[in-house]
Amino acid sequence: MPRKTPFNAASEPFREMGATLKTQLDFIFKPKSVAVIGASNNRQRWGHGTLQSVIRAGFRGNIYPIHPKEKVIQGFTAYASVLDVPGEIDLAVFIVNAEQTVKAMEECARKGVKGAVVITAGFAEIGNSGKEMQNAMVNIARRSGMRFVGPNCLGIWSSAVSLDCCFYKAPLAGPIAFVSQSGTLGEYLLEIALEKGYGFSKFISSGNQADLDVCDYLEYLSEDQDTKTIVLYLEGVRDGRRFLDISQKVIREKAIIMYKAGRTSAGMRAAMSHTASLAGNHELFEAACRQAGIIRSTNILEAFDVAEALAHQPLPRGNRVAVTSGGGGFCVTTADACAAYGLEVPELDSDTQRRILSLLHAYSPPPKNPVDMIARKGPMSHAEIIEILAGLDYIDGIIMTPPWGGFHRDTPAEFMKELIDSAERIAQVPQRFGKPIISAGAREYRKHPIYEILKKGEIPFFEGPDTCARAMQGLVQYARAREHARARG
């Protein structure tokens, strides 16, 4: 049975976050039941993979494959139409062709389906005939109160109910929400993020945004308990004013990191033929976003690194960083990178230098900042030095390499134990001192026992000095932006 239309149908899109939008989108991101329209037993069909993803990622609600003829698909009872499904359906995922989508959506409206993800392509992006079908679909949705993602998208991931209708390998669950106007790039990036160990609360491939658009997602995510940080890949924004207004509100609580594509003429040309997005005046838009407090990224991979830091670490009060490593080269390159990103690496006062020197062997280089710990007296000195640095009122955050050494089979047990204890003390520093720590290490080190300890402390982990500094800059940027946004009220 169709629910009552909760808004002024077809004329007025949602302008304010309210219980209504939240309720509507919860049906999409926290459904109790999912119908897969176009599910298939034929492994060559997209509908096979989509149902596979839903099952494999571990969705525990009801799953209803919809297919005109099959009785059982991948072990689940199949139905010819959503109208034949005995229970209620919160969410319908569409992977039939465009014509069939319109017809099936009518049936969904009659059934009272509450939300949809329309993966199907062949709508507005192919021209007038597609545009008509897209409008028809929007009208059905408006009439019935159904909201939908897409069309012409890759699907969604929602950690809240382990719902994956797009990826071969589901993302890890975690605090980053990612809204992407590109499906394949989104998939690609999530694959890299998975390798890096980053977790996601939501992935939303927004597609043609015929109904729900990036502004709706932002509103929804701003109150989403699972989301701490939002990454946007945008090729164009329909309503720039609304986007900025909503963003200003969102960043009072959560950071937004945006890669806006089409910042050059070649990029604009590509965006145009990709999603027919009019990139508009890029510089004006960027300036407005900066003013709104959105963190802009010009390197889409790096956007996730910054998001990872923002999702896990306390915000610094300023831009003053201590750099420390068990090796001089890392100290030098990180100090350079910090300066390049507008971070200060203040020289330590002489009293602090003396305190740190007492934890180092006599032949150590002077610990002015950066602090080269190559000749620390023992594993615990590592933690003690980090604590001294974190305790300084003129240090706002720390970039370090962790105490990796000494996990060979001949490492004495006492030494190993001290290393572990040291890492555990370091892992508590961000909480204890309210200051962020960013850590560096080759990816291979993620197999290292110390990494597990840092991970429990939510200390973000990056490969190179440059990325560490960029992530710290992101923390500084957001700390300032949030302060301004809250001051504005």
Residues within window 290-349 making contact with a second copy, judged by CB under 8 A:
298-302, 323, 325-333, 335-340, 344-345, 347
Q: Which helix (H) or strand (E) holds 231?
A: strand 229-234
The count of residues interacting with a second copy (CB under 8 A) is 74
Q: How far is the CB of 454 from a second copy (least distance, A)?
A: 17
Kindly tell me which residue out of 112, 122, 199, 378 binds a second copy, with binding defined by CB under 8 A.
Answer: 122
**Among residues 23 and 184, whose Cβ is nearest to a second copy?**
184
Residue ranges in 394-423 that form contacts with a second copy under rule CB under 8 A: 408, 410, 412
Residue ranges in 75-114 that form contacts with a second copy under rule CB under 8 A: none
Site string for a second copy, 420-449 (x = CB under 8 A): ----------------------xxx-----
- Look at strands 76-77 and 91-94 and give their pairing: unpaired
For residues 436 and 316, the answer to whether their CB atoms sit within 8 Å is: yes
Specify the DSSP class assigned to residue 49.
H
Distance of CA 378 to the CA centre of its chain: 38
Residue ranges in 126-165 that form contacts with a second copy under rule CB under 8 A: 126
Q: How far is the CB of 204 from a second copy (least distance, A)?
A: 14
For residues 292 and 257, the answer to whether their CB atoms sit within 8 Å is: no
Q: How far is the CB of 294 from a second copy (least distance, A)?
A: 17
CA-to-CA distance for 46 and 23, rounded, in angstroms? 30
| CB neighbour list of residue 108: distance below 8 Å, 6 or more residues apart | 35, 82, 89, 92, 116, 140, 144, 146
Site string for a second copy, 41-80 (x = CB under 8 A): --xx------------------------------------
CA-to-CA distance for 78 and 40, rounded, in angstroms? 10
Site string for a second copy, 353-392 (x = CB under 8 A): ----------x-xx-xxx-x-x------------------
Q: How far is the CB of 393 from a second copy (least distance, A)?
A: 19
Angle at 202 between CA 197 and CA 208, to 5 degrees: 125
Residue ranges in 223-252 that form contacts with a second copy under rule CB under 8 A: 233, 235
Residue ranges in 253-282 that form contacts with a second copy under rule CB under 8 A: 259, 261-267, 269-271, 273-275
**Among residues 218 and 321, whose Cβ is nearest to a second copy?**
321
Q: How far is the CB of 469 from a second copy (least distance, A)?
A: 10
For residues 186 and 178, the answer to whether their CB atoms sit within 8 Å is: yes
Q: Which two tokens stand for residue 325?
A: 């490593």
Q: How far is the CB of 410 from a second copy (least distance, A)?
A: 4
- Look at strands 295-296 and 255-260 and give their pairing: parallel
Angle at 448 between CA 332 and CA 450, to 5 degrees: 75
Q: How far is the CB of 183 from a second copy (least distance, A)?
A: 7
Q: How buried is 463 (Cβ within 10 angstroms: 0-12 exposed, 13-18 middle, 19+ buried)?
A: middle
Q: How far is the CB of 81 from a second copy (least distance, A)?
A: 28
**Among residues 41 and 162, whose Cβ is nearest to a second copy?**
41
For residues 162 and 60, the answer to whether their CB atoms sit within 8 Å is: yes
Specify the DSSP class assigned to residue 4.
P
Kindly tell me which residue out of 216, 308, 418, 466 binds a second copy, with binding defined by CB under 8 A.
Answer: 466
3-state secondary structure of 256: strand
Q: How far is the CB of 272 from a second copy (least distance, A)?
A: 9
Strand order in 321-325's β-sheet?
371-372, 321-325, 397-400, 437-440, 461-462
Question: Does 167 interact with a second copy (rule: CB under 8 A)?
Answer: no
**Among residues 288 and 375, whose Cβ is nearest to a second copy?**
375
Candidate ranges 137-145, 311-319, 427-435, 458-466; the one touching a second copy (CB under 8 A): 458-466
Q: How far is the CB of 190 from a second copy (least distance, A)?
A: 9
For residues 463 and 441, the answer to whether their CB atoms sit within 8 Å is: yes
